[in-house]
Structure formats: C-alpha cells, structure tokens
Amino acid sequence: MERKPKMLVVGSFVKSQIISTKKLPEEGETILGKTVFATLGGKGANQAVQMARLGADVTMIGKIGRDQNGEDLLDACRRESINVKHVLYDAKEETGFAFVVLERLLNEHAKNRVMVIPGANMTIQKEEIAFLEDQIDQYDMVLLQNEIPQEINETVAEYASKKGVPVMLNPAPYEQLSEKLLHSVTYISPNEHEAAHMSGIKIHRDKGRFNLEEAKVAALVLKGCGVANVLITLGKSGAFMMTKDRSYYKPALENIEIVDPSAAGEAFVGAFCTRVCMGDNIGEAMVYANHAGALAASRIGAMPALPTKKEVEQLLYGQ
C-alpha cells in the first residue's frame, strides 16, 4: 500500500470567469464570444486539490474575503478532505478573482490568457503564519507560488529549510525573486516563459520541437542562483529537469486535445510532488505528472479539470 504523504500548500484561492472565443479582438474591435462560465481555482488551491485527488493528506493555508466566492472555494477544498482550519479571512479585501480568455482556433490547441486580481491573497501577514515555525516539520513537502506576498513565501521556505523539509516553488506569475527565497527552496518549477524571464534564456521551438540545449542553459542559470533542482514545464513539449546529478527530459503525451490549459501546470506540479513523496524517482514522477497535466488540459476549467488517481493511472497504465 502506498504511503499517504502529508503535504502543505501555502498559497492562493481564486474564483475565475472564463470566456471562450474563436479569436481575440484587435484593438478597438468588438467580437462575439462563444461561452462564459465560472470556475474555482487559484494556483495554491488547485495544487492542493490535485494532490488530495492523488492520495495525499493535504493542508491548505491562504486568505480569502468574507464573501461567497471564498466560501465556495473553502467548500470545494473540504469536499476533497483538505484541511482548511488555518485558512484566514480578510475583512476588507475580496477573495481573489481571475479573468481567463480562452482562444479556441479551428484545428489548433486552445490558448489561454489570464489576469488575476489577487485581493485577499496578498494580505497575509507574517505573524499570521508564524505558528508554522514549530509545526512545519510534520509535513513531507511544502508548496508555494507567486500569488501570495513574496515575504510570506520567504518566511515559510525559511522555516521549512531549517527543519529539512523540501520546498517546491512554482514561480507564477513571474516576479523577481529574492536571493533569500531562491536559497531556501528545494525545487523550482517555472514554465518556459517564466524560465526565460528568470534566466534571460528564451527556449525556442523549430517546427514544434523545443531547443533542449537552451533549456539546459536556462536551468543552469537558475541553479547558479542557488536552487538545487530546476523543473521547467514546456506545455505541449513536456518537461525538462536538472538536478545536482543529472538531467531528465520527458515528452508530453501525444494525441491529447488541449481544450483549456488553465490548470495543467498545477496538475503537473501537484502530481510531481505527490509522487516524489510517495517514493517515485524523478523520472517516474515526471511521467506521472505529464499524464495528470494532459488530462487537466483536455478539460475546461480549473479545479473541475483536475484528474483523480484512477483517471491518471488508467491513462498511464491502460487499466
């Protein structure tokens, strides 16, 4: 029987409005969209839900407003048996909100553009998470993202580092990261665009094939900043990782229609962290995570798109 890892997510709660369209309007142009619907998510909450669906024991810490969107997000986490007893409320700011434009061109993979209004996510204070200094060693891994204040990420990562607890940082959306934070995390998981911003190395593609040497250089630059393990997600090209000892490349699944990539990154990161803590080696965890990300990208929405353990393993093993 697989062990049930204890995972801590300190991160964001976001309610999203998704608008799908056949094409984006030009400046000054008005077009007719196709559909509009709401979905629950946030990079932190999505990672928490994905790990819970894959068999982890998950605790989520974040901040919401005193509004229905926040309560809906908490209820969604509770339905996944996620521990939300440490979730905070802000009396002034509303729960985080996002607008997603999903462009679905004929015979092409869907592309999304996202704007997040962080709201209460950015009001977490250091004293509100100070209790973690004494409790963080009860977890197998801590997951962080950039939809909460960097000061909070620095503090949590420092607590974990001092206790020998591995930390995964998903540096999205991009912002310049402090040396203190980079030296405290175990894994960093930018996508190719974030990796380019952070390293100054753009990863090019030629006829759909990404440039592996550029990915290696970008990873080396990030490792030079103090991060032990760099995991770059490459969308439809898969994922590349550089550790202390070696590099790994795992291609994406073929014949998967990308309907909405909104939660694919969180599905990948959540699955990778869960499987590493369950005992998989790096290569095995990356393959498993590619399957989880592919399933999420093949569905519309954020939390609703995240696959279960059974679904991932049916795709992976054909069971």
Phi, psi for residue 76 in degrees, rounded to 5: -60, -40
**Domain boundaries, given as residue ranges, for the chain:** 6-12+42-88+122-317
Per-residue pLDDT for 38 more than 80?
Answer: yes
- Lowest average pLDDT, out of 8-12, 99-103, 173-177, 232-236, goes to 99-103
Average pLDDT, rounded, for the chain: 93
Q: How far is CA 9 from the centre of its chain?
A: 11
The string of pLDDT tens digits covering residues 204-219 is: 887 667 888 999 999 9
The string of pLDDT tens digits covering residues 249-296 is: 999 898 888 888 889 999 999 999 999 999 999 999 999 999 999 999
Tell me, what's the pLDDT at 32? 84
The two tokens of residue 88 are: 């905070």
Q: At 86, which amino acid appears?
A: H
Rounded Cα distance between 221 and 239, Å, is: 17
Any idea of the CA torsion for 290, 296, 297, 300, to the nearest 10 degrees?
180
Contact status, residue 291 vs residue 312, Cβ threshold 8 Å: yes
What number is the average pLDDT over the span 131-148?
97
Per-residue pLDDT for 109 more than 90?
Answer: no
The string of pLDDT tens digits covering residues 190-203 is: 999 999 999 999 99
Which among 86, 38, 5, 1 is positioned nearest to 273, based on CA atoms?
A: 5
Contact status, residue 167 vs residue 161, Cβ threshold 8 Å: yes
The string of pLDDT tens digits covering residues 226-242 is: 999 999 999 888 999 99
Which among 166, 232, 160, 168 is positioned nearest to 201, based on CA atoms?
A: 232
Rounded Cα distance between 142 and 136, Å, is: 8
Rounded Cα distance between 15 and 312, Å, is: 25
Identify each DSSP E strand in 78-206 by its residue range: 88-90, 96-103, 111-117, 141-145, 167-170, 187-188, 205-206
Banded model confidence at residue 23, pLDDT cuts 50, 70, 90: confident
Superfamily for 6-12+42-88+122-317? Ribokinase (3.40.1190.20)
What number is the average pLDDT over the span 5-24?
92
- Lowest average pLDDT, out of 55-59, 81-85, 118-122, 300-304, goes to 300-304
- Lowest average pLDDT, out of 28-32, 266-270, 296-300, goes to 28-32
What number is the average pLDDT over the span 56-84?
98
Per-residue pLDDT for 299 more than 70?
Answer: yes
Rounded Cα distance between 235 and 215, Å, is: 13
Tell me, what's the pLDDT at 276? 98
Phi, psi for residue 148 in degrees, rounded to 5: -130, 170
Which among 212, 193, 217, 208 is positioned nearest to 112, based on CA atoms?
A: 193
Tell me, what's the pLDDT at 260? 83
For residues 120-155, one letter each, b for 16 or more C-beta atoms within 10 angstroms of the residue's C-beta and e for the rest, the string is bbbbbeeeebeebeeebeebbbbbbbbbbbeebbbb
Tell me, what's the pLDDT at 231? 98
Q: At 12, which amino acid appears?
A: S
